[in-house]
Amino acid sequence: MGLIVFDLDGTLIKERTIFAIAKKYGFLEEVVKVIEGPIKNYMKSKIIAGFLKGLTVNEFLDIIKKIPLMDGAEEVSKTLKDKGYKLGIISDGYTLVTEYFKEKLGFDFSVANRLEVKNGILTGKIYMPMGWLETRCFCKQSVCKRAHLRIYAKKYGVSVKDCVAVGDGPADLCMLDEAGLGIAFNPKTPELLKYAKMVIDKEDLREILSYL
């Protein structure tokens, strides 16, 4: 028994959600500018959510549903469930997206930011779970993945040392640091190698099975 948490964008699915939406609705440049800017990570999430104002949930989900799963995602989810692992998605994206893929892959839980919806339309307001104040984590993200790994490990009665975290980007650093086994999956930044115990350089999730 153990707990395995996955990042979503670039790990369980092939695209970055906000980029897919921004490309379709023409605000990709603005999103990139915010991401590359000097402000704290959680403030970036807050500003980017504002760009979504006015989109309907259906328009949003139509794009999400077209994003392909990472190679091997379905097989790996099934294999790990059969082995008795609890599976979760921890993302600094949106619950609208993580819940969709949680259901699709048969995961146990997902954590992400919640977008406010009124009459089926996104208002641009975002509710962020945060967590880095409690853990004193360096990430200052809208979702501190370290904090939420701790919360779910406790919930399932698993020591964090027996947890596995899989991720590809800077938002995953604290989660890879916290887990007993951090796996960098096609790392987008060399910083990940400092925190990961294993590195996979192939776009196929089946590669993680040899470590579990």
Q: Which residues of the shown chain bind Zn ion in the complex (CB under 5 A)?
A: 132, 137, 139, 144, 146, 174
**Residue 190 CB partners (closer than 8 Å, separation 6+):** none
Q: Which of 9, 168, 172, 177 is catalytic?
A: 9
- Closest CB to Zn ion among residues 102, 150: 150
Shortest distance in whole angstroms from residue 171 CB to Zn ion: 9
Can you name the residues that pair with 166 across neighbouring β-strands?
6, 183
Shortest reach from residue 103's CB to Zn ion, in Å = 26
Nearer to Zn ion, 35 or 121 (CB): 35
Nearest Cα to Cα of residue 42 among 110, 117, 119, 138:
138
CB of 92 to Zn ion, least distance (A): 10
CA nearest neighbour of 143 among 94, 190, 206, 188: 94
Minimal distance, residue 88 CB to Zn ion, in Å: 16
Is 112 or 139 the residue whose CB approaches Zn ion more closely? 139
CB of 36 to Zn ion, least distance (A): 20
Nearer to Zn ion, 138 or 211 (CB): 138
**DSSP letters for 89-148:** EEEEEEHHHHHHHHHHHT-SEEEEEEEEEETTEEEEEEE--B-HHHHT-S---SB-HHHH
Percentages helix, strand, coil for the chain (3-state, rounded to 5) are 45, 25, 30
Tokens of 86: 């609890």
Of the candidates 11, 153, 122, the residue with the CA atom closest to the CA atom of residue 60: 122
Which among 60, 61, 62, 72 has a CA at the least distance from the CA of 12? 72
Q: Both tokens of residue 190?
A: 């060399």
Q: Please say which residue, 21 or 144, places its beta carbon nearer to Zn ion.
A: 144
Amino acid (1-letter code) at residue 205: L
Is 9 among the residues known to form the active site?
A: yes
**7 labelled catalytic:** yes
Catalytic sites, residue numbers = 7, 9
